Amino acid sequence: MQDKVIEELIKAETKRQREGLEMIPSENHTSPDVLKALGSRLTDKYSEGYPGKRYYGGCEVVDKVENLARDRAKKLFGVSHANVQPYSGSPANQAIYFALVDPGDTVMGMHLYYGGHMTHGLKVNFSGTLYNSVQYHTGKDGYLDYEEMADMATREKPKLIFVGATAYPRIFDWKKLREIADLCNAWLIADVSHISGLIVAGAHPSPVGYAHVIMTTTHKTLRGPRGAMILCDGNPSNPLKAVERTPENLPTLIDRAIIPGLQGGPHNHQTAAIAIALREASLPSFKTYGKQIVKNAKKLADELTKRDFELVTGGTDNHLLLVDLTNKKVIGAEAEVALGKAGITMNKNTVPFDPRPPFSPSGIRMGTPALTTRGMKEAQMVQIAEWIDQVIEHRNDDKFLEKIHRDVKKLCKQYPLPGEAKAK
> For every one of its 424 residues, what pLDDT tens digit does the chain have, with 9 covering 90 and above?
999 999 999 999 999 999 999 999 999 999 999 999 999 999 999 999 999 999 999 999 999 999 999 999 999 999 999 999 999 999 999 999 999 999 999 999 999 999 999 999 999 999 999 999 999 999 999 999 999 999 999 999 999 999 999 999 999 999 999 999 999 999 999 999 999 999 999 999 999 999 999 999 999 999 999 999 999 999 887 777 789 999 999 999 999 999 999 999 999 999 999 999 999 999 999 999 999 999 999 999 999 999 999 999 999 999 999 999 999 999 999 999 999 999 999 999 999 999 999 889 999 999 999 999 999 999 999 999 999 999 999 999 999 999 999 999 999 999 999 999 887 6
* 13 classed as catalytic: no
From the list 66, 276, 295, the residue with the least C-alpha distance to 201 is 295
Domain 9-27+286-414, CATH:
3.90.1150.10
Per the annotation, the verdict on 303 as an active-site residue is no
Predicted pLDDT at 242: 83
Residues of the chain with CATH 3.40.640.10: 39-281
- d(CA 207, CA 117) in angstroms, rounded, equals 18
**Statement: 39-281 belongs to CATH 3.40.50.300:** no
Determine the Cα–Cα distance for residues 269 and 274; give it in Å rounded to an integer.
Answer: 9
Answer for the pair 221, 195: CB distance below 8 angstroms, yes or no.
Answer: yes
- Those residues whose C-beta lies under 8 Å from the C-beta of residue 325, and which sit 6 or more positions away, are 309, 310, 331, 332, 335, 362, 363, 364, 392
pLDDT for residue 424: 65
The verdict on whether 191 is a catalytic residue reads yes
Task: List the catalytic residue out of 220, 256, 299, 328.
Answer: 220
- Catalytic site includes residue 226: yes
CA-angle at 236, arms to 221 and 72, nearest 5° = 35
Q: Which of 48, 156, 179, 302 is catalytic?
A: 48
Q: Which of 191, 233, 255, 354 is catalytic?
A: 191
Residue 14 neighbours by CB under 8 Å, 6+ apart: 417
Distance CA 129, CA 151 (A): 23
Length of the chain: 424
CA atoms of 157 and 134, how far apart (whole Å): 10
DSSP string of 305-326, one letter each residue: HHTT-EEGGGS-SSSEEEEE-G
Start-end of CATH 3.90.1150.10 domains in the chain: 9-27+286-414
Confidence (pLDDT) at 70: 98
Residue pair 111/135 in contact (Cβ under 8 Å)? The answer is yes
